[in-house]
Amino acid sequence: MMPSLRLSGQRALWAMAGVAIIGVVLPLLLRSDFWLNFAIMVLFFTVLGQAWNILGGYGGQFSFGHAAFFGTGAYVTAVLQVKFGINPWLGFVLAGIGGGLVGAAIGFLSFRYGLRGSYFALVTLAFAEVLRILANAAAFTGGGVGTLIPLKQTAANFQFVDKTGFYFVIFALMLIGLLLAYWLENSRFGARLMAIRENEDAARALGVNAFAIKLGAISLSGALAGLAGAFYAQYFLYLDPRLAYGPGISVEALLVPIIGGMGTIFGPLLGATVLHVVGEIARKVMGDAVGLNLALYGMVLVAMVLFLPNGIAGLARRQRLKPKEERL
Amino acid sequence: MLEFSILLPALLNGLTIGAVYALVALGLTLIYGVLHIINFAHGSMLMLALYGVFFLHALFGIDPYVSLLIVPPALFVLGYALQRGVIGRASHGKDENILLVTLGLAIVMDNLALYFWKADTRTIDTPYGFDTVDLGIATIAVPKAVAFVAALLICCALWLLMARTDLCKAIRALAKERQGAQLVGINVPHLFAMSFGIGAACVGAAACLLLPSFYVAPDVGQVFVLIAFTVVVLGGMGSFAGALIGGMIIGVTESIGGLFLGESLGQLGIFVIFIAVLLFRPTGLLGHRA
Amino acid sequence: MTERNRSRGIGRRQLLAAGSTAALVAGVGGFPAILKAQAPAIKVGILHPVTGPLAYSGTQARAGATMAIEAINAAGGIKSMGGAKLEAVLGDAQSKPDVGAAEVEKMNEAGVSAIIGPFASGIALATTQAAAKHNIPHIVDVGVVDQVVTRGLANTFRFGPGLAKVVDTAIANLVALNAASATKAKTVMIVHEESAFGSGMAKTLNEQLPQKGFEILETISHPNPTRDFDNIALKIKARKPDLIIPSNYYGEFVLLARTLRQQKVEAKAIYSILGGAASNFRFVNEFEDAAQYIIDCNHWVDPRKPEAAALRKKVEDQKLFFTYEVFLNHECVRLLADALERGKSSKREDITAALTSSSWAGHMMPYGPTKFVNGQNEGAAPVNTQIIGKDIKVIFPAAFADAKPVFPMPARG
């Protein structure tokens, strides 16, 4: 079964062009720093979710440990900068490489031993925890005290005085994520990856090197999550092991694409937008009553799963492809 | 060297704390074994159960061990209702939906608890809370000794239940062969809910045994949920004896790791074992290949 | 604008309180008189982590701040500004720095004049930075990690002491305690939580204690949460240190203290630094026996000042525990009110200027008049408390101690 809304080929490219134009114009329209920050956070979680989507959505490999890649990217940028004075723009690139390498390492071990489904999910969770514990014990990460990146607001230093600078960085990253997803949908690599998702044994029988393909996917996914981590580090300038490697990030990373629509180009963008809007509305509705806003958020989450089993992207499809779906 | 002189008592501590982990994990392993779902709401159910035990004690003076007669049945009802009413309906046959819905439920439960009962860390004071049993090599707190024995008993009881009763034979059949069970006329949603309910009842029992030596707060579930997953995987998903042994192994690993590497770094041992088991024996110590 | 804000933000209680006066005025002078008397409300951002793992501290902190705002308004608001009322704009950082920073943006658009919060250091680093962009004066209530004020942000003011100051004071008082006693404590074990404040404290202690002649037998870092303290107790029991120095959050502190009692671990003192429960009345009430004689170097009020006792009563009347989060935030609001009173302006830059030149002595803390140097209140210092009976007594500094230290503590049998 092909999951959810599939904007393919030409249509997807047009949609991406639309997103690109809206994205470029948006900061000119948003006169408010609050909404600009809101947009930045939505895009940030979109990138993180897209990273998860590459592996989980297109490859069917559910990770509970994307914090492992995210945190590595964040620490690479921060530590290289603080300890070795390496420019954060270079650190940004290295963060992507670092995230990719951690992805490859974890992928190598777990795919080598044929872990699938929830076993794979739990092993990624365990790796993230191992990294958290190590980051907490190591001296060069600052241990539990954490790493603080000195405040020096110049664009050359990847710290923008104006939030618009951060916006365009994360927006560009988001576009790269979209292009990656588009590429997956239109390349041999992507086709093989999706074949593995549908039926790994069948794909193998057809001569797909499942190990290599999955390894490629997790490295790509890790690299994108690592870039998101580097962005986080530069935007907030402070990291500790729990922020970087804690389970919170891993959960956010999977929430966004599953809600939006797994294995779709725009699923993560939809998911991150809807989740943040819901979060904001819950705050408005519940006012200052402690905890009720998050409870409402959780209820909306449950309701979405009850009524939108294929994510938000699936909603659009259901209307359009109703007759076809019956056949499934 | 000091570490070796206290090795034996540390080992014993590991076993008792491991029994508590096993208690929490028993419910999780049952749910996993039958429904094949990763229940993110497990910790939150433990939290609710702990509040139940706490309020029974605070408002009515009911001893936590007496609550064993009240809280597990209540949790059974909650578990049955959640599975039948929400989780089962939300799954639409997809694992990721179950994941999401249990995650959503956890967020709802934790934050409702925060709203109604505030963020305070609550503890209870029992007459035996500070009593200890002197075993010669170590002194063990009475609540922990009780939890240890109870964990063994509950595990045996569950095993008997699963081996002997018709209901549970059906559950086991279901765990093995879902479609086959449906074909022979087993009411699948009911049995799923029964399993989830029994799993929740185990959590209720764990709460009664845990509270005398622990505390309750809205986010207390997270304290145990990760470790419970570890135990379940280690023991073999769906295996009670596995959960018990897995709990003990994790408890001892944590204890010994803490002794030699410090409590922070000592946690590493747990996850290294966890990863090793997943890689080399993914069915767990006592699990069967699905 | 004014009327709308007032009725929306201040809340029902405020309106009721003001109601009787308003009715009186309306009766005498007619409706326009009210409008004239009403100076624009001054919005104050009250930002804390009231959900997530730090929810307890955040809730306590919020309670302290809102109580102060209510009290100031009830007493006639900011007098130099025509009795302008303070209006709380509440924010929830959800125990995450990114959410804290987003809340600052929201508060900026809500037009707050200043922000008070956000309890945790990790969040404070993000919120002070976000507030600096909009020149919002940001009073940090706790946030003890020293980097919170050493980054050169002109908008950041920390009313309470930083970590370095706390550790320095703790060590100085420990030396004094030793000097005054016939039995000397020499060997130390440190048990600290692994995040920023516990680790930072352990690091400083390891640098400084040996210079003062103490021998650190072992430093044990434990995660949050730690489920079981039996092994740590075993280690302590085996090494027999004179002093046990714990630094942890509430839940872990209670478990540790209970386990130490249960395993009959004896020491000359349990000398906690920023102990999660050691100066918390809940702990004292619930485990009086395990809590007995525990010393803590922490934020505390000056017991000589009547306002302190009055606030404690008020807090307890609301069925809350009188903890440092409450009174520090209460006093941060009053510090802001003093700046408003003197600056006669709710403009952000005016408040920042007034805070920079602040020399406020009306607080209930043992600090002396406020004096901000690079954003840090130089007079701020912790005190040493000890749990004696059902009460928490101040034992250091001697100038205003209300009890003599019990050191070494008697064997607890």
Please state the three-class secondary structure of A164-175 as a single string.
Answer: HHHHHHHHHHHH
Q: Do the Cβ atoms of C127 and C93 come closer than 8 Å?
A: yes
Cis preceding-peptide flag for A268 (omega within 30 of 0)? no
Contact between C280 and C287 under an 8 Å Cβ cutoff? The reply is no
The first and second tokens of residue C17, run together, are 């309180």
Among chain A, residues having any CB pair with chain C shorter than 8 Å are 32-34, 37-38, 41, 136, 143-146, 148, 150-151, 161, 163, 232, 236-238, 240, 242-243, 248, 283, 288, 290-291, 293-294
Q: Which of C90, C109, C134 has the CB atom closest to A288's CB atom?
A: C90
Residue A41 forms part of a structural domain: yes
Read off the pLDDT band of A287 (50, 70, 90).
confident
Res A231: pLDDT: 98
Measured between beta carbons, the chain B residues lying within 8 angstroms of C255 are 214-215
Contacts of C359 (CB under 8 A, 6+ apart): C369, C370, C371
C220 at A interface, C-beta within 8 A: no
Asked whether the bond before C225 is cis by omega within 30 degrees of 0, the reply is yes
**DSSP strand E in B30-165: where?**
132-134, 139-141
Mean pLDDT confidence for A264-286: 94
Tell me whether C207 touches chain A (CB under 8 Å). no
Q: Which of B20, B121, B125 sits opposite C251 (nearest CB)?
A: B121
Tell me which chain B residue has its CA closest to the CA of residue C53. B219
Which candidate in B35, B87, B97, B105 is best for mutational testing of the A interface (most A CBs within 10 A)?
Answer: B97
**Residue in A closest to B36 by C-alpha:** A118
Question: Which residues on chain A are in Cβ contact (under 8 Å) with B282?
Answer: 113-115, 119
Strands (E), C147-204: 156-158, 187-193
Distances from the Cα of A62 to the Cα of A90, A215, A313, B54, C379, angstroms: 31, 14, 19, 37, 54
Beta-carbon separation of B111 and A295 below 8 A:
yes
Q: Which of C197, C201, C193, C240 is nearest to C220 (CA)?
A: C193
Can you tell me the distance from the alpha carbon of A97 to that of C411, in angstroms, rounded to the nearest whole number? 59
pLDDT of res. A11: 86
The C-alpha atoms of residue A163 and residue A171 are separated, in whole angstroms, by: 12
Distance CA B140, CA C99 (A): 43
Judge whether C39-161+304-377 and C164-298+383-400 match in fold. yes
Q: Which CATH number fits the domain that encloses residue B14?
A: 1.10.3470
Q: Which chains neighbour A (Cβ–Cβ under 8 Å, 3 or more pairs)?
A: B, C
Which of B92, B95, B278 is the closest to A123 by Cβ?
B278
CA-nearest residue of chain B to C285? Answer: B125
Q: Quick one: pLDDT at residue B93? A: 78
How many CB atoms lie under 10 A from the CB of residue A296?
Answer: 21
Q: Is there a contact between C102 and A38 if contact means CB atoms under 8 Å apart?
A: yes
**pLDDT score recorded for residue C5:** 38
Q: Do the Cβ atoms of C195 and A248 come within 8 Å?
A: no
Contact C108 A150 (CB under 8 A): no
**pLDDT digits 0-9 by tens, A159-208:** 998 999 999 999 999 999 999 999 999 999 999 999 999 999 999 999 99
Coil, strand or helix at C360: coil
Q: The sheet that has C187-193: what strands, in order across it?
A: C215-222, C187-193, C243-247, C269-273, C295-298, C383-388, C391-396
Residue A279 in any domain: the answer is no
Residue A225 lies in a domain: yes
User: pLDDT value at position C27?
Assistant: 40
CA dihedral B272, B275, B276, B280 (to 10 degrees): 180
The pLDDT of residue A8: 65
Q: How many CB atoms lie within 10 A of CB C335?
A: 25
Strand-strand pairing, C187-193 and C383-388: unpaired
User: How close is the nearest chain C Cα to the Cα of A124, in Å?
Assistant: 20
Examine residue A211 and state whether it is found in any structural domain, yes or no.
yes
Instruction: Using CA coordinates, name the residue in chain A closest to C110.
Output: A34
Q: Give which of A55, A111, A122 to mutate to test B binding, by max B Cβ within 10 Å.
A: A122
* Interface residue C393 vs chain A (CB under 8 A): no
Of C225, C231, C286, the CB nearest to B13: C231
Pairs of CB atoms within 8 A across B/C: 95
Give the pLDDT confidence score for residue C37 in this predicted structure: 56
The pLDDT tens digits for C393-404 are: 999 898 889 999
Q: What is the mean pLDDT of residues A60-77?
A: 96
Residue spans per domain, chain C? 39-161+304-377, 164-298+383-400
Cβ separation of C50 and A290 shorter than 8 Å?
Answer: yes
Does residue C148 sit in helix, strand or coil?
helix
Asked if C203 and A240 come within 8 Å (Cβ–Cβ), the reply is: no
Residue A135 CA from chain centroid, whole number: 22
Residue numbers in chain B where pLDDT is lower than 70: 1-3, 288-290
Q: Which residue is listed with tokens 């809007």?
A: A277
| A325 vs A266, more confident | A266
The percentage of residues in chain A with a pLDDT greater than 90, rounded to a whole number, is 78
Say if the Cβ atoms of C98 and A240 lie within 8 Å: no
Whether B90 and A306 lie within 8 Å, measured CB to CB: yes
Q: Which of B6, B218, B262 is closest, CB to CB, to C220? A: B262
Lookup: tokens for A193: 């990856």
Say how many domains are in chain A.
1
Q: Say how many domains are in chain B.
A: 1
Cα separation, C181 vs B246, in Å, equals 51
Q: Going by DSSP bridges, is the β-strand pair C114-117/C42-48 parallel, antiparallel, or unpaired?
A: parallel
ipTM of the complex: 0.89
Could you tell me which chain B residue has the CA closest to the CA of C262?
B130
Give the best residue of B37, B40, B253, B279 to mutate against chain A (max A CB count within 10 A).
B279
For an interface test with C, which of B264, B265, B267 has the most C Cβ atoms less than 10 Å from its Cβ? B264
Strands C295-298 and C383-388, bridge-based pairing: antiparallel
Partner residue facing B233 (CB), from A122, A144, A295: A122
Q: Is residue A186 part of a domain?
A: yes
8 A C-beta contact, residue B144 and residue C227: no
Count chain A–chain C contacts defined by CB atoms under 8 A.
83
Chain B: nearest CA to C53, how far in angstroms? 7
In chain B, which residues have their Cβ closer than 8 Å to the Cβ of C194?
264
Distance separating alpha carbons of residues B189 and B166, to the nearest angstrom: 16
Rounded to a whole number, what is the distance in angstroms from the first to the last CA of chain C?
66
The predicted pLDDT at position B287 comes to 73
pLDDT given at position C1 = 35
Residue type, C76: G
Q: Which chain A residue's Cα is nearest to C147?
A: A148
Q: Which residues of chain A does C112 touch, with a Cβ-Cβ cutoff of 8 Å?
A: none
- The closest CB to that of B104, out of A62, A127, A298, belongs to A298
Q: In a mutagenesis test of the C interface, which of B112, B219, B224 is the best target, namely the one with the most C β-carbons within 10 Å?
A: B219
Range picked from A220-234, A277-291, C240-254 for highest mean pLDDT: A220-234
Contact C198 A143 (CB under 8 A): no
CATH class of C39-161+304-377: alpha beta
Rounded distance between C-alpha atoms, residue B277 and residue C30, angstroms: 81
Residue A295 pLDDT > 90 = yes
Q: Is C109 on the interface with A (CB under 8 A)?
A: yes
Give me C104's structure tokens: 């600052």
Range of the domain at B150: 2-119+129-280
For the segment A232-262, what is each residue's pLDDT rounded down to a tens digit?
A: 999 999 999 999 999 999 999 999 999 999 9
For A90, the domain range is 9-248
List of chain A residues whose C-beta atoms are within 8 Å of the C-beta of residue B246: none
Task: Kindly list the residues of chain B whose beta carbon comes within 8 Å of any beta carbon in chain C.
Answer: 2, 5-6, 9-10, 13, 16-17, 20, 111, 114, 118-121, 123, 125, 129-130, 132, 138-139, 141, 144, 213-215, 217-219, 222-224, 227, 255, 258-259, 262-265, 267
Average pLDDT rounded to a whole number, residues A278-304: 92
Residue numbers in B near A137 (CB within 8 A):
264-265
| Residues in chain C with pLDDT values less than 70 | 1-37, 413
Gap between the Cα atoms of C240 and C242, Å rounded:
7
Fold classified for C164-298+383-400: Rossmann fold (3.40.50)
Q: Give the N- to C-terminal CA distance of chain B in Å, as an integer.
A: 46
Residue C262 is nearest to which of B120, B141, B264, comparing CB atoms?
A: B141
Which residues of chain C does B47 touch, with a Cβ-Cβ cutoff of 8 Å? none
pLDDT digits (tens, 9 = 90+) for A135-167: 998 889 988 889 999 988 899 999 998 999 999
| Chain C environment of A248 (Cβ under 8 Å) | 96
